[in-house]
């Protein structure tokens, strides 16, 4: 085999995504199969074409892994998503309340109005992004082995509700159409999935440490 082609590696991001979504044993087999075909394609059709093929395979494989993650443990996944939904519902005002309490405590409004303005608008959004990440982590801990399926489902529901809410505000209450509330909801949805990525990565690292020991 051509030594130059030996060093051709598949896209690292795609490999990482498969590792995130597939159970550890299945990830090993899938990545082995993909690498085997990728190497053949790289030597016959070129690296760029092989990388394109690898990405197409990865994206379609992720969709199947998400589906089978749900099918193998539907109740656990639904329970985890429901828990996340309830946490979102009841903890949604916590960042605002906490920020208001601190701002009042230190009388920021009177002494540093610009700081007050920042925290009352962007600060609350940042707080909600952190809260969404935390909720994503909790959901991923509960949905053991299906971290990505559960957090992606929750993120999708959240983004969908955000879009519905924004449309309703315009249609029912004749609010002016602005993109920001919807973008915030998308940011919260992504933060929820990031929570899943954090827990999944931590679990993979723990498994690797145990195997090495």
Distance CA 148, CA 44 (A): 35
Selected range binding another protein among 61-69, 73-81, 152-160, 164-172, rule: CB under 8 A: 61-69
Q: Is residue 127 a contact partner of residue 95, using CB atoms and an 8 Å limit?
A: yes
Smallest distance from another protein to CB 146, Å: 14
Q: Is residue 32 a contact partner of residue 10, using CB atoms and an 8 Å limit?
A: no
Smallest distance from another protein to CB 196, Å: 19
Is position 122 an interface residue for another protein (rule: CB under 8 A)? no
Distance CA 83, CA 157 (A): 13
Smallest distance from another protein to CB 47, Å: 17
Strand ranges inside the chain, DSSP E: none
Q: Taking the chain, what is the end-to-end CA distance rounded to the nearest angstrom?
A: 35
Is position 42 an interface residue for another protein (rule: CB under 8 A)? no
Is position 37 an interface residue for another protein (rule: CB under 8 A)? yes
Is position 67 an interface residue for another protein (rule: CB under 8 A)? yes
Q: Is residue 200 a contact partner of residue 20, using CB atoms and an 8 Å limit?
A: yes
Identify the residue among 64, 93, 144, 175 touching another protein (CB under 8 A): 64
Which residues of the chain form contacts with another protein (CB under 8 A)?
26, 28-37, 39, 56-57, 60-65, 67-68
């Amino acid at each position: 085999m051509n030594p130059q082609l030996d060093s051709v590696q598949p896209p690292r991001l795609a490999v990482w995504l498969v590792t995130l979504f597939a159970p550890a044993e299945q990830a090993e087999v899938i990545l082995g199969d993909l690498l085997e075909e990728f190497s053949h394609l790289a030597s016959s059709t070129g690296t760029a074409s092989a990388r394109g093929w690898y990405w197409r395979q990865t994206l379609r494989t992720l969709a199947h892994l998400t589906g089978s993650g749900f099918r193998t443990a539907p109740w656990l996944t639904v329970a985890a998503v429901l828990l996340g939904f309830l946490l979102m519902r009841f903890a949604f005002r916590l960042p605002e309340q906490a920020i208001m309490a601190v701002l009042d405590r230190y009388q920021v409004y009177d002494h540093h109005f610009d700081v007050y303005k920042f925290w009352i608008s962007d600060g609350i959004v940042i707080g909600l992004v952190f809260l969404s990440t935390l909720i994503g982590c909790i959901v991923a801990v509960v949905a053991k082995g299906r971290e990505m399926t559960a957090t992606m489902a929750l993120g999708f529901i959240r983004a969908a509700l955000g879009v519905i809410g924004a449309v309703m505000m315009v249609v029912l209450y004749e609010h002016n159409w602005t993109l920001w509330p919807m973008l915030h909801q998308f940011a919260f949805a992504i933060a929820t999935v990031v929570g899943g990525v954090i827990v999944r990565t931590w679990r993979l690292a723990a498994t690797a440490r145990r195997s090495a020991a």
